[in-house]
């Protein structure tokens, strides 16, 4: 994020809650928890380690940590003294304004985890002291004052962090190097030198902090990365090289010793607990004959979600993730072997700490995606069966629609709280309407554009014979729909006058998966009086 961008976004923060806490960890005690709010922590005494999403940091007096919701943390104090620390728990969003409406956005700080500060931090400590101890008298209500101080503290903190350099020595530097270079030839002597310790002292300290030797840590990271790369078309030799093994046969022996199965068979024989974290990916897994342990629910994003029996039966065996909450604690309890996510989501390191995570590039070409996944997972027969069914249904419905209606232009319109969006050929609904069913784009719609956003008075530019309307489940979106439906521009449309306006239901999301795509093809055809029977 550019400096001007994140400074501006910091100034737009709105705080809904600020709570101050003080804690102490007994010598040798381990404290574990997952935060569901943002947490700013200042260490005031003691030494130990803080593990954040499996990344270990050293802890000492006057060090700062910024944790975001969903981070899994484990604090362990060294045996000689307790660790005392202060925490401010807070909830915040960024407020933005477009036209006459205010909107809230999730905020992501430019830096989280251990904050490497510059030396000039007296102003920051004074703000923290006032928040914790309330030293300065004020006539303002305490809660409002806390929110104001918290806002100022975070702005100054982020500025100091930006100016600070990373550590040049110590265990943190060695751990950071290992985390980023485990695929390289790692020399323990070099790590000890980075930490400023003797070889024996470094090895003992490392094992005390991570409960494993440095080489065991390196091997663990390599195996996790290998399991992620096995969900690809890469050859074993290439995967071995990518995780730091020059000899693919040695890599295979190490992998089998750790996992109990050869890497060539891992995806086909051992991976059966697959989690998915984006719309439609669970559908792919189900279509290939497996049952995912998680799926991302879109129920809160549509007015009336419609169940597809072929998919619904599998969802009783897993959990439904909330699309408005990125807390993956429940997913961790499912103990997946593999997580499949999409490049339409922001990368989330928390997933990698739960299970090997494969990110798939979004596509509307289901044939290629299914065959790609099927080849890796040994499910080619199931993929070919869907491809055959899809091609046959497409041919049948296109023929019947053409015979009944002739050449028809179809519009897919989404009504949101702030705009109207019409989707083109290069979208999931475009693949359904224009590729599968053979309809044509609305008049004057740009052929290569995936979508067009407009105000209601521009809808006359895009004439169509049929209109499918999706409305977001908010009061503002419903008001936008009423404004559209009462406008002269809407009432003048051919499709409106002839009664060819249909409820799109939830086909916008269903078309992201293969089985849902089959259902959506039949649904659209039925609205126009055509069945597949």
- 379-396: per-residue pLDDT in tens? 999 999 999 999 999 999
The per-residue DSSP string of 334-356 comes to T--SEEEEETTSPP-HHHHTTS-
- The separation between the first and the last C-alpha atoms of the chain, rounded to the nearest angstrom, is 54
Q: Give the best-scoring range by mean pLDDT among 5-9, 13-17, 313-317, 523-527.
A: 523-527
Does pLDDT of 137 surpass 50?
no
Task: Please compute the mean of the pLDDT values over residues 406-421 and round it to a whole number.
Answer: 93
Does pLDDT of 434 surpass 80?
yes
Higher pLDDT among residues 24 and 168, named by residue: 24
62 DSSP assignment: T
CA-wise closest residue to 40 among 18, 13, 70, 16 = 18
Label residue 530 by pLDDT band (50, 70, 90). very high
pLDDT recorded at residue 269: 84
440 burial via Cβ count (<10 Å: 0-12, 13-18, 19+): middle
CA-wise closest residue to 86 among 45, 37, 32, 27 = 45
Q: 320 by DSSP, 3-state: which?
A: strand
**Cα 504 from Cα 524, distance rounded (Å):** 8
Mean pLDDT check: name the lowest of 316-330, 379-393, 454-468.
316-330
Does pLDDT of 268 surpass 70?
yes
**Cα 245 from Cα 238, distance rounded (Å):** 9
Tokens found for residue 392: 């046959």
Does pLDDT of 135 surpass 60?
no
**Cα 320 from Cα 331, distance rounded (Å):** 9
* All residues at 6 or more sequence positions from 181 whose CB lies less than 8 Å from its CB, including other chains: none
Tokens found for residue 101: 């409406």
The rounded mean pLDDT for the chain is 87
pLDDT recorded at residue 169: 52
Label residue 1 by pLDDT band (50, 70, 90). very low
CA-wise closest residue to 268 among 378, 104, 359, 126 = 378
Task: Please compute the mean of the pLDDT values over residues 420-427 and round it to a whole number.
Answer: 93
Radius of gyration of the chain from its Cα atoms, rounded to whole angstroms = 28
| % of the chain beyond a pLDDT of 90 | 43
The per-residue DSSP string of 396-465 comes to HHHHHHHHHH-S-BEEEEEE-SS-EEEE-SSSHHHIIIIIIS--BPPTT--TT-SEEEE-GGGGGGS--S
Does pLDDT of 2 surpass 60?
no
Higher pLDDT among residues 503 and 271, named by residue: 503
């Amino acid at each position: 994020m550019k400096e001007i961008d994140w400074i501006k976004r910091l100034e737009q923060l709105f705080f809904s809650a600020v709570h101050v806490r003080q804690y102490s960890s007994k010598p040798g005690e381990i404290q574990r928890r997952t935060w569901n709010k943002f947490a700013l922590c200042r260490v005031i005494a003691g030494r130990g380690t803080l593990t954040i999403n499996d990344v270990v940091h050293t802890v000492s007096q006057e060090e700062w940590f910024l944790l975001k919701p969903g981070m899994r943390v484990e604090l362990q104090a060294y045996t000689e003294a307790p660790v005392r620390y202060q925490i401010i728990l807070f909830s915040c969003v960024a407020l933005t304004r477009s036209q006459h409406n205010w909107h809230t956005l999730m905020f992501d700080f430019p830096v989280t985890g251990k904050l490497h500060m510059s030396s000039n931090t007296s102003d920051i400590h004074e703000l923290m002291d006032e928040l914790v101890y309330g030293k300065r008298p004020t006539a303002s209500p305490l809660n409002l004052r806390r929110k104001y101080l918290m806002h100022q503290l975070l702005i100054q903190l982020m500025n100091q962090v930006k100016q600070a350099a990373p550590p040049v020595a110590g265990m943190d530097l060695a751990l950071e190097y290992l985390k980023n270079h485990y695929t390289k030839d790692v020399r323990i002597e070099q790590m000890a030198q980075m930490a400023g310790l003797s070889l024996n002292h470094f090895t003992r300290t490392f094992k005390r902090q991570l409960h494993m030797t440095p080489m065991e840590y390196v091997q663990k990271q390599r195996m996790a990365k290998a399991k992620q790369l096995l969900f690809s078309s890469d050859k074993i030799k290439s995967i071995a090289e990518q995780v730091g093994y020059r000899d693919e046969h040695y890599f295979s022996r190490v992998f089998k010793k750790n996992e109990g199965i050869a890497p060539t068979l891992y995806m086909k024989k051992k991976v059966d607990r697959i989690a998915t974290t984006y719309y439609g990916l669970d559908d792919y897994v189900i279509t290939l004959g497996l049952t995912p342990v998680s799926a991302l629910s879109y129920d809160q994003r549509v007015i009336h979600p419609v169940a597809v029996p072929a998919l619904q039966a599998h969802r009783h065996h897993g959990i439904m993730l909330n699309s408005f909450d990125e807390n993956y604690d429940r997913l961790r309890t499912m103990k997946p072997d593999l997580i499949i996510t999409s490049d339409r989501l922001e990368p989330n390191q928390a997933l990698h700490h739960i299970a090997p995570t494969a990110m798939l590039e979004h596509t509307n070409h289901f044939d290629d995606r299914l065959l790609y996944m099927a080849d890796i997972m040994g499910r080619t027969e199931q993929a070919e069966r869907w491809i055959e069914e899809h091609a046959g249904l497409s041919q049948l419905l296109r023929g019947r629609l053409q015979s009944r209606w002739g050449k028809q232009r179809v519009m897919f319109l989404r009504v949101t709280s702030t705009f109207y969006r019409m989707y083109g050929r290069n979208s999931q609904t475009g693949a359904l309407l224009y590729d599968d069913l053979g309809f044509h784009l609305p008049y004057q719609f740009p052929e290569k554009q995936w979508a067009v956003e407009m105000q209601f008075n521009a809808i006359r530019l895009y004439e169509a014979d049929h209109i499918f309307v999706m409305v977001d489940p908010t009061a503002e979106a419903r008001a936008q729909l009423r404004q559209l439906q009462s406008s002269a521009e809407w009432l003048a449309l051919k499709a409106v006058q002839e009664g060819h306006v249909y409820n799109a239901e939830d086909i916008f999301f269903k078309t992201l998966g293969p089985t849902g795509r089959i259902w959506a093809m039949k649904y659209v055809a039925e609205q126009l009086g055509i069945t597949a029977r």
